[in-house]
Amino acid sequence: MPFTHPPLKPFIPLIAAFAICTLTHAAPPSTSEEKGVRFEDRGSQVVLDNGIIAATINKTGANVASLKFKGTEMIAPATRGANIYFSMDGGADYRQPQGCVFSVKAQSPEMVDVACRRIWKDEPQAFDIEAHFVLCRGESGLYVYAILDHPAKYPATGYGEWRMVWRPPVETQDWICVDERRHWQMPDPADYQTAQKMGIKEIVKLTQGVRAGQYDCKYDFNASYHDIGCWGHVYAQRKLGAWMVCGGYDFFNDGPTKQDLNASAGLNHIYFGRNHYGGSNPHLAAGETWSKIYGPYLLYCNSADDVEAMWSDAKERVKKEKAQWPYPWLTGVPQYPPAGARGQVAGQLIIKDAQKPRLSAANAWVGVAQPEANGNWQYESKHYQYWTHADAEGRFTIPSVRPGSYILYAFTTGAVGEFSKREIAVGAGQTTQAGELVWNVPHKGRIVWEIGMPDRSAGEFAHGHDYFHGYGWERFPHEFPNPLEFTIGKSDPAKDWNYAQCGYGTDNLQPWKWRIHFNLDAAPQADATLVLSLASADSARIDVFANDESKAVSTVTPAVQGGDALLRESIHAKYGLEQVTIPAGKLHAGENVITLVEPNVKTMRSHVMYDYLSLEIP
């Protein structure tokens, strides 16, 4: 069965490998390191060894059986069935690449790149999977990438989950490092053995150890890969760190706000399909030719005197990897064109908002993507996306873009919605000048009041700082009344407006009314608009009342739904925007009350997370 990309080449020029494989050393070079990368074929396995890292690869299984850092094993004991592996989907559709054909793509003292290719036979996902493992001279980590191929003769297919899992050693004094809030000592193995099982199978309640009384769950650590860049575990007693490090992000789905699992108890994950929290997945039609590369990324190991030093080193490594992207050592792969065969997009974003004259494009996200017809970057996983932050003046350069036609998108804190411009053509070796892009933020009237800050997150509201703890919703009835009463000009959003509106109670859930009290100097002469910028909605609808709770003026079923962000301990899922017309006759001079109710309360899955609310009157 033919490949859909050229056959692997046995060698690459030494000079190309040397361009990347002489980065800073994690330790002074040893004698074996000075000899470069050693390749040993042991029949069913191969060993790649540069004197710092020694990786043993199972040829037919496309997995890492052993990863040693300076002689220390960085994978949990094999008795637990542990290795570093790829997998797709779950349940009856679960798949790991097996029965692979092994080959050597490149071999020199500077770098070895080996491949394990599984040709599709009868698996639920009609893709060929080709996994690559790359070791460079002097490096303190193993690079990994994978290529999915769907030749035209294959049937229609897709995938839900697509990831790599690394099980580092499980031992005492394990610290997890994800971000400034999720950065703590993990329970010891014995603490998990005595933990209390909960109704949600992924959550346990710890009864002993450093986190006694706390819940533990893999969803505690969900985060945007664009935001964190690396994640992992530090073993303080042995002064060792095990990290996932990303240099490029163009292969991830659904843009820079998309979050997913990363590190958790005994695990490092990297989710290429980022299927949790409403992730999209590619769907291929019968007769469609498609291929995509995921990675490369780095399985990084380090050592230092303390946890903070190792975490700081991993974050510095992210910067180094970004600076090298696209990696010059990866050649001869059509899905990964070199820097000279890519282009870039440059321009300046200018935001104009008559009601917020101080609003600027500083630090705005600007990106290019290729969504399906009538689609959006939030639901794009078939192709590649490229994003960057604008500078203080709104200027931006989006580097390393594959040639093609794109839609340019931009959004920023402080503005509802987003800007887009179609037909951005990118050519190889060229800079596409997008020019001045003026985003006139629309309004349907004068902003009378607003709650929150538009940033696609509910993080500025109550519990926005500790949303990542299991069963947090059990606290809501003890902290907030039903109805929740919020008075414009008096109430504090950080204390008085919860990050999630859901069912009220613990056993017998009731609809939870949220009332917004405000004053108007005069009765409106025209219909008002209630702007509901939503950070998340799942199985939800919103009944809107104005000064009369016996009859809703509108019932909103958010167009963007799903993701299970409340139960899965996140602060957002997919962003949505709804605008509700409030008839002029429903409002009057003096005190007014708008009431919001989410009536679907069969389970705690049903919820709304508000990003921002405002009332606009012409």
Sign, CA torsion 361/365/367/369: negative
Q: Stretch 10-17: mean pLDDT, rounded?
A: 37
Residue 516 near residue 596, CB atoms below 8 Å:
yes
Distances (CA, A) of 103 to 127, 215, 553: 19, 45, 66
Distances (CA, A) of 59 to 11, 99, 190, 296, 391: 19, 8, 35, 19, 46
Can you tell me the distance from the alpha carbon of 386 to that of 402, in angstroms, rounded to the nearest whole number?
A: 9
DSSP-assigned letters across all residues of 218-243: GGGG-EEHHHH-EEEEEETTTTEEEE
**Strand runs labelled E in 257-361:** 259-260, 263-264, 267-271, 283-284, 290-302, 343-352
Whether the CB-CB separation of 276 and 243 falls below 8 Å is answered with no
Element (H, E) at 395: strand 395-401
The backbone torsions φ and ψ at residue 131, rounded to the nearest 5 degrees and listed phi first, read: -100, 135
Distance CA 173, CA 170 (A): 10
pLDDT the model gives residue 79: 59
pLDDT at 171: 79
Question: pLDDT tens-digit profile of 210-244?
Answer: 999 999 999 999 999 999 999 999 999 999 999 99
Confidence label for 373 from pLDDT (cuts 50, 70 and 90):
confident
Q: What is the pLDDT of residues 127-141, one digit of tens each?
A: 999 999 999 999 999
Q: What is the pLDDT of residue 21?
A: 56
How far is it, in rounded angstroms, from Cα 458 to Cα 364? Answer: 18
The residue assigned the tokens 């770098």 is 111
Residues of the chain with pLDDT > 70, as a percent, come to 94
Question: Which of 12-21, 253-262, 320-329, 602-611 bottoms out in mean pLDDT, i.e. has the lowest?
Answer: 12-21
Beta carbons of 536 and 467 less than 8 angstroms apart:
no
Q: What is the pLDDT of residues 502-541, one digit of tens each?
A: 999 988 999 999 999 999 999 999 999 999 999 999 999 9
Q: What is the mean pLDDT of residues 577-598?
A: 98
CA distance 174 to 170: 8
Residue 34 pLDDT > 80: no
pLDDT greater than 90 at residue 357: yes
Any residues with CB less than 8 A from the CB of 68 and at least 6 apart, and which?
53, 54, 55, 74
In this prediction, residues 13-34 reach a mean pLDDT of 43
pLDDT, one tens digit per residue, over 47-74 is 999 999 999 999 999 999 999 999 999 9
Amino acid letter, 154: Y
At 23 the pLDDT is 38
Residue 219 half-sphere exposure, CB side, CA atoms within 13 Å? 26
Question: What DSSP string describes 552-592?
Answer: -SEEE--SS----TTTTT-S-SS-EEEEEEE-GGG--SEEE
Can you tell me the distance from the alpha carbon of 407 to that of 401, in angstroms, rounded to the nearest whole number?
A: 12
Q: Is 498 exposed, middle or buried (0-12, 13-18, 19+ CB in 10 A)?
A: buried
Q: What is the pLDDT of residue 11?
A: 33
3-state class (DSSP) for residue 339: helix
Q: Cβ-count burial of 457 within 10 angstroms (0-12 exposed, 13-18 middle, 19+ buried)?
A: buried
Q: Is 476 left (phi over 0), alpha (psi -120 to 50) or beta?
A: alpha
Report the pLDDT averaged over residues 482-508. 97
Mean pLDDT of the chain: 94
Tokens of 230: 């690396």
Place of tokens 């080709």: 130
Let me know the angle formed at the C-alpha of 168 by 162 and 169, rounded to the nearest 5 degrees: 150
Element (H, E) at 533: strand 528-538
The residue type of 19 is A
Distance from C-alpha of 592 to C-alpha of 546, rounded to nearest angstrom: 8
Identify the pLDDT of residue 31: 47
* Separation between Cα atoms, residue 206 and residue 221, nearest integer Å: 17
SS3 at position 197: strand
Residue 382: which region, alpha, beta or left (left: phi > 0; alpha: psi -120 to 50)? alpha
pTM summary value? 0.93
pLDDT at position 35: 73
Q: Which residue has the tokens 């999720």?
A: 182
End-to-end distance of the chain based on CA atoms, in angstroms? 65
- How many Cα atoms occupy the beta-carbon half-sphere of 146 within 13 Å? 24
* pLDDT: which is higher, 562 or 18: 562
Q: What's the confidence (pLDDT) of residue 12? A: 35
Q: Are 89 and 109 in contact (CB under 8 A)?
A: no
Strand duo 484-487 + 513-520: pairing: parallel
* d(C-alpha 132, C-alpha 145), whole Å: 5
Mean pLDDT of 63-86: 89
Instruction: Name the token pair of 551.
Output: 């009859």
What domains, with CATH codes, occur in the chain? Answer: 14-324 (2.70.98.10), 339-440 (2.60.40.1120), 446-617 (2.60.120.260)
Give the HSE-up count for residue 561: Cα atoms under 13 Å, Cβ half-sphere: 12
Predicted confidence (pLDDT) per residue in 169-209, tens digit: 887 789 999 999 999 999 999 999 999 999 999 999 999 99
